[in-house]
């Protein structure tokens, strides 16, 4: 978190304004909703989406008031989807904090997600541009299909790399893509710019998720805020695993481990599985693909004017591609 803040120290004041707006938006007279929502906000996160909104807005006529009304809903939609995901994943911690479902219960998590999502919609109505609502709602539909889709692939060793890429597209890349796009549209930047910025965000999002999935395999609990191997315990087979399984010498051993973990419903030590993957070439190959997405992202910015925001976007992209937390 600190590193990233250093990178975009220039926008610190506006990011703080958005942080305040996030809190005010989810504030409720209802004490339980207030508690669960504030718990979620305080658990932090990198606020990548708001930062991308702000930086993309600089390609048009930047007004903080408008940027807030774009950035806050995007971050809240992200948060709402995380709470619902935690229910599916039986996740107990996220970012080193107890999840809503573990601190309260699954039902409260479901309704907290509904509430935060509703608040997000309320804020975005302040933007009176039909295309903003259309772009956002289409992304939300895709995200919700992705949510359901992931269930189908839990512990499914027959899935292809394409299945994985489509999943992370819906889960992560689309929302980051439209964060850039809507930031630009909100600031009345020309359409060709908002499209380029979408491409930038989309590709950064793909890299971001791949990096996330790598970190789940090689990071320490301190770095990633949850025990390593959480993905496979939930049945989530990620890119490094799929790539490692391409090696005929590795595949049978991984399948045996997968089957064992599946049978025990993830309630087991997964260090043998982690050792297997760490011993193969999948992590390195996944990292290479992630770097390709970063390169694509940066190329998408080529024709955009060389303002400070462009340099910042590039820096954030490099940070994301190499982050270890």
Of the pair 30, 263, the CB lying nearest a copy of itself is at 30
Residue 106 touching a copy of itself (CB under 8 A): yes
Among positions 120-139, residues that touch a copy of itself (CB under 8 A) are: 121-122, 124-125, 128, 130, 133-134, 137-138
Residue 140 touching a copy of itself (CB under 8 A): yes
Of the pair 145, 161, the CB lying nearest a copy of itself is at 145
Residue 272 touching a copy of itself (CB under 8 A): no
Taking the complex as a whole, how short is the minimal distance between the CB of residue 117 and a copy of itself, in angstroms? 8
Of the pair 151, 255, the CB lying nearest a copy of itself is at 151
- For 100-138, give the secondary structure using H, E and C: HHHHCCHHHHHHHHHHHHHHHHHHHCCCCCHHHHHHHHH
Of the pair 73, 229, the CB lying nearest a copy of itself is at 73
> What are the distances in angstroms from CA 185 to CA 15, 91, 133, 193, 200?
19, 36, 11, 9, 15
Residue 32 touching a copy of itself (CB under 8 A): yes
Of the pair 3, 134, the CB lying nearest a copy of itself is at 134
Please identify which residue in 12, 30, 42, 63 interacts with a copy of itself, judged by CB under 8 A.
30
**Residue listed under structure tokens 């993905």:** 231
Residue 23 touching a copy of itself (CB under 8 A): no
Of the pair 22, 254, the CB lying nearest a copy of itself is at 22
Residue 144 touching a copy of itself (CB under 8 A): yes
- For the chain, give the secondary structure using H, E and C: CHHHHHHCHHHHHHHHHHHHHHHHHHCCCCHHHHHHHHHHHHCCCCCHHHHHHHHHHCCCCCCHHHHHHHHHHHHHHHHHHHHHHHHHHCCCEECCEECHHHHCCHHHHHHHHHHHHHHHHHHHCCCCCHHHHHHHHHHHHHHHHHHHHHHHHCCCCCCCHHHHHHHHHHHHHHHHHHHHHHHHHHCCCCHHHHHHHHHHHHHHHHHHHHHHHHHHHHCCHHHHCCCCCHHHHHCCCCHHHHHHCCCCCCHHHHHHHHHHHHHCCCCCCCHHHHHHHHHCCHHHHHHHHHHHHHHHHHHHCCCCCCCHHHHHHHHHHHHHHHCCC
What x-and-dash track marks residues 151-180 binding a copy of itself by CB under 8 A? xx----------------------------
Residue 84 touching a copy of itself (CB under 8 A): yes
Taking the complex as a whole, how short is the minimal distance between the CB of residue 16 and a copy of itself, in angstroms? 25
Please identify which residue in 8, 59, 62, 117 interacts with a copy of itself, judged by CB under 8 A.
117
Residue 97 touching a copy of itself (CB under 8 A): no
Residues sharing a CB contact under 8 Å with residue 172, sequence separation 6 or more, in sequence order: 205, 206, 208, 209, 212
Applying CB under 8 A, what is the total number of residues that bind a copy of itself? 38
Residue 110 touching a copy of itself (CB under 8 A): yes
Of the pair 103, 323, the CB lying nearest a copy of itself is at 103
Of the pair 87, 304, the CB lying nearest a copy of itself is at 87
Which residue ranges make up the site for a copy of itself (CB under 8 A)?
28, 30, 32-33, 84, 87-88, 106-108, 110-112, 114-115, 117-119, 121-122, 124-125, 128, 130, 133-134, 137-138, 140-141, 143-145, 147-149, 151-152
């Amino acid at each position: 978190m600190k590193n990233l803040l250093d990178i975009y120290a220039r926008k610190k004041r506006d990011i703080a304004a958005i942080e305040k707006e996030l809190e005010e938006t989810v504030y409720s007279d209802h004490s339980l909703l207030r508690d669960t929502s504030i718990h979620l906000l305080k658990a932090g996160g990198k606020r990548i989406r708001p930062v991308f909104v702000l930086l993309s807005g600089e390609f048009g006529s930047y007004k903080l008031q408008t940027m807030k009304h774009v950035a806050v809903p995007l971050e809240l939609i992200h948060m709402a989807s995380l709470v619902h995901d935690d229910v599916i994943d039986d996740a107990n911690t996220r970012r080193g904090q107890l999840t809503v479902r573990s601190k309260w219960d699954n039902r409260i998590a479901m309704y907290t997600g509904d509430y935060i999502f509703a608040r997000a919609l309320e804020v975005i109505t302040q933007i009176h541009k039909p295309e903003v609502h259309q772009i956002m709602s289409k992304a939300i539909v895709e995200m919700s299909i992705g949510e359901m889709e992931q269930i189908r692939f839990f512990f499914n060793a027959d899935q292809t790399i394409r299945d994985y890429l489509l999943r992370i597209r819906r889960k992560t890349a689309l929302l980051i893509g439209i964060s850039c796009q809507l930031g630009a549209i909100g600031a009345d930047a020309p359409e060709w710019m908002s499209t380029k910025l979408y491409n930038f965000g989309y590709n950064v999002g793909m890299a971001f998720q791949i990096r996330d999935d790598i970190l789940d395999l090689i990071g320490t609990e301190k770095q990633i805020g949850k025990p390593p191997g959480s993905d496979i315990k939930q049945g989530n087979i990620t890119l490094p695993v799929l790539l490692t399984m391409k090696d005929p010498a590795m595949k049978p051993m991984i399948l045996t481990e997968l089957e064992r973990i599946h049978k025990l419903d993830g309630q087991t030590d997964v260090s043998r599985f982690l050792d297997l993957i760490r011993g193969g070439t999948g992590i390195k190959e996944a990292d290479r693909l992630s770097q390709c997405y970063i390169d694509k992202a940066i190329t998408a910015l080529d024709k955009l004017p060389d303002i400070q925001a462009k340099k910042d976007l590039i820096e954030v992209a490099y940070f994301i591609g190499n982050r270890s937390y």
